[in-house]
Amino acid sequence: MIEAQKRILVADDELPIVEGLKAMLEDDGYVVDTALDGGAAFAKLTDDDYALLIVDLTIPGRDGIQLLEAVKENGLDTEVIIITGKGTVSTAVEAMRTGAYDYLLKPVAPERLKSVIPKAIEHYTLKVSHRNLSEQLRQLTKYEDLIGKSDGMQAVYG
């Protein structure tokens, strides 16, 4: 199985953008899946683990904000970068308040995207590690509310 840290989903309804981003990111060593509409992107997000979703704000089906909300509502650790050719201050603020990692205007400068992706993936990795450590700690302390020093209780703690 491919490590999720290397998996990126690119969702945009403009095929040249999808193909260009896919080629660029694969050259950088990432495993890239693509979707041409929001419904297909959502299906892929729920089927596989992705470190990062790069999504167009105005993609048909489920737009970029709706996909971002779905990522948050479903408890996915995937980071989301919104890209758009029709950006406004209000959509940028909405995206960031909803939890987008970044918001970039098209045409996206390759160097800008290449500088943001490793940071977004590092953030994803930290979230996954935190969740895993929290779960391990919860398992270790599952008897924290029990009180007792009897031999029977000591056997329970054991």
Q: Say which range, 20-34, 70-84, 105-119, 122-136, has the weakest mean pLDDT.
A: 122-136
What tokens were used for 114? 């290449």
Please state, in angstroms and rounded to a whole number, the distance separating the CA atoms of residues 9 and 47: 12
pLDDT in the model for residue 1: 43
What tokens were used for 51? 């470190």
DSSP letter assigned to residue 12 = -
Q: Which residue has the tokens 């996206």?
A: 108
What tokens were used for 130? 């935190």
Q: Which helix (H) or strand (E) holds 149?
A: none
Residue 143 has pLDDT above 80, yes or no: no
Residue 45 has pLDDT above 80, yes or no: yes
The alpha carbon dihedral of 75, 2, 42, 57 has a sign of positive
Amino acid letter for position 31: V
Q: Which of 84, 85, 110 is nearest to 95 (CA)?
A: 84
Expressed in percent and rounded to 5, the helix, strand and coil fractions of the chain are 55, 15, 30
Amino acid letter for position 3: E
Over residues 84-94, mean pLDDT: 91
Please state, in angstroms and rounded to a whole number, the distance separating the CA atoms of residues 121 and 109: 19
What pTM, to 2 d.p., does this model score? 0.83
Residue 113 has pLDDT above 70, yes or no: yes
pLDDT digits (tens, 9 = 90+) for 24-42: 999 999 999 999 999 999 9
pLDDT in the model for residue 9: 98
